[in-house]
Amino acid sequence: MLQGPGLFILLLGVLITVHELGHFLVAKACGVKVLRFSIGFGPKLFGFTKGETEYQVAILPLGGYVKMAGDSPHEELAPEDAGRGFLNAAPWKRALIVAAGPFFNLVFPVLIYFFVFVGSHEAISTKVGFVDPAMPAATAGIRPGDRIIAVDGEKVRTFEELRDTFVGRFERPIPITVERDGKQSIVEVTPRKVTDSNGIDPVERGQIGIQYARKPAVLGVSPGSPAAQAGLKTFDRVLSINGVSIPDEAALHEQLAKLEGPLEVAVQRMRPVMAGAVTGGVPSVVKVTVPKQPGNDGFTALGAESSDLYVVSVNPGSVADKAGIRAGDRLISFNGEPLRSFTVLLAELSNLKDQPFQLTWRSADGQEHTQKLAQAPYNTRSEFSQEARLELGVDPWYPSSAELLPVDMVTVDISPGDALRQAATVVPRIVGQMVTVLGRIATNQMSTKTLGGPVMMYQLASKSAEQGWESFFHLMAVISINLGVMNLLPIPILDGFHLLSAFWEGIRRRPIPVRVREVANVVGLILLAALMVMAFYNDINRLIFG
């Protein structure tokens, strides 16, 4: 596969060609003479002339242009080209020519997504890997190993489809068709309401508390408990009991239900190791003997509990950090109600946003603390952007990529008709998100630090390619939509201003005065230069600070 520079040139080259091809084809169709079709700016690398048009590739691959006869008010046309100049064309023709570039950039992603979607694909199935004991799915009797067939009568094949069916469905009984041991049954589940936010358009959806991932059996050990007395520690991962392998929580429950008497438990424990100024972890295997607690199964049979509500890390400077919550602490209650899972906490926080709440937690020494807190913006810096999201700032234990257990996959065949419908749905949604982002940046509701320039595009191209061609094509589609939307803005020099000029002339029956156009072009250049400086500044920050 192509590497960084090649991918970057491929990405820009294709998108620029698509944009300029729109202007070119419609100009030709409208009878306007095209003198030059250029991919890139600056000195020509190579090219050829066919008919009346010169086709070239220039040295700077950060744009392109279509040079049409008579596209400047001061340009004099040759007698043979009379009537074939851009500014001499009827306003409606000029509007079509100008709009064609952005239009091609908005239609091209539909084709990209069509070819990405169509055909056979491997996807995560609806087989349940984990059920949160505090969530509605557990109350309804759904178990790990069950397969979800339909939600509210709507068939689902993949976990993504399953998740999407709960958009707008919450806080009312929903019939869910479940397959277990080859037999189907219908259970009623009342999803909890949560608000998913990607920083652009919050979505209210139902959550029932299932995951496709099989969760390893990781212990939470409270001070003075039988597990602690036996030598077990919080975040120990159970590997085996009495010699029987325990791959996940479901196997832990199944095995402990069969056993009595002392239990020989082997766990994996991360031993802290200093590497200079950084503390790392090295896995080691520890074996202990634990008396089985009478009348209990699962974690409680070991005198322990799930690690779910134990904090594995706290974001520095976050609300939790300032309140004194530390790694290893156990979250106890939220607004006076006992917490039973981290998922419940996240659901409550998503609905509260920045409203205050009361949180109780137990520190590693056994002391309980209660404080009134409120989520606050926390800057999350990634390789490509920096944004602030409301959060508490605590993380539960979650397996690393190396520790993840295999998930059940399914082959999904998508017909050309379905692929086209999906593609035609995705593109308008992304356009809406981009318009929202531009509006928030313009009204100072979103930081300009989210803007990026060529360096960010280079990084994104390289990163997406590492994840496969499908991810790279998705990036190409998103940037193409971005180019289409940006070029429609009524800023001088951009297509949007030329489109506005054509509409002005069509309505007023006279063009915008030459002096006004010249001043507008200068203003447009200043605006674009400021935007480019801002984007390059953000790029440099990303390179320096990560």
Residues annotated as part of the active site? 20
Q: How many CB atoms lie within 10 A of CB 81?
A: 16
Beta bridge partners of 394: 314
Closest to 344 (Cα-Cα) out of 135, 131, 167, 130: 135
User: Whole-angstrom Cα distance, residue 216 to residue 248?
Assistant: 4
Gyration radius of the chain's alpha carbons? 30
Residue 79: DSSP 8-state: G
User: Whole-angstrom Cα distance, residue 30 to residue 24?
Assistant: 10
Q: How many CB atoms lie within 10 A of CB 413?
A: 10
Quick check: helix, strand or coil at residue 118? coil
Residues 6 or more apart from 509 whose CB is under 8 A from it?
Answer: none
- For the record, the structure tokens of 326 come out as 């530390």
Residue with tokens 């937690």: 361
Q: DSSP secondary structure string, 221-240?
A: --TTSHHHHHT--TTPEEEE
Return left, alpha or beta for 447; rule: phi > 0 is left, psi -120 to 50 is alpha, else beta: beta
H helical segments located in 122-210 = 136-140, 159-164
Residues 6 or more apart from 515 whose CB is under 8 A from it?
Answer: none
Residue with tokens 């424990």: 269
Closest to 200 (Cα-Cα) out of 412, 337, 385: 385
Closest to 493 (Cα-Cα) out of 520, 464, 463: 520
Q: CA 430, 462, 107: angle at the middle one, nearest 5?
A: 30
Residue with tokens 């479901």: 250
C-alpha dihedral (80, 86, 87, 93), degrees to nearest 10: 120
Closest to 22 (Cα-Cα) out of 107, 101, 140: 101
Burial class (CB in 10 A: 0-12, 13-18, 19+), 233: middle
Q: How many CB atoms lie within 10 A of CB 32?
A: 26
User: Whole-angstrom Cα distance, residue 46 to residue 441?
Assistant: 40
Return left, alpha or beta for 161; rule: phi > 0 is left, psi -120 to 50 is alpha, else beta: alpha
User: Whole-angstrom Cα distance, residue 482 to residue 146?
Assistant: 42
- For the record, the structure tokens of 203 come out as 């979505």
Residue 405: DSSP 8-state: P
Closest to 208 (Cα-Cα) out of 151, 278, 247, 252: 151
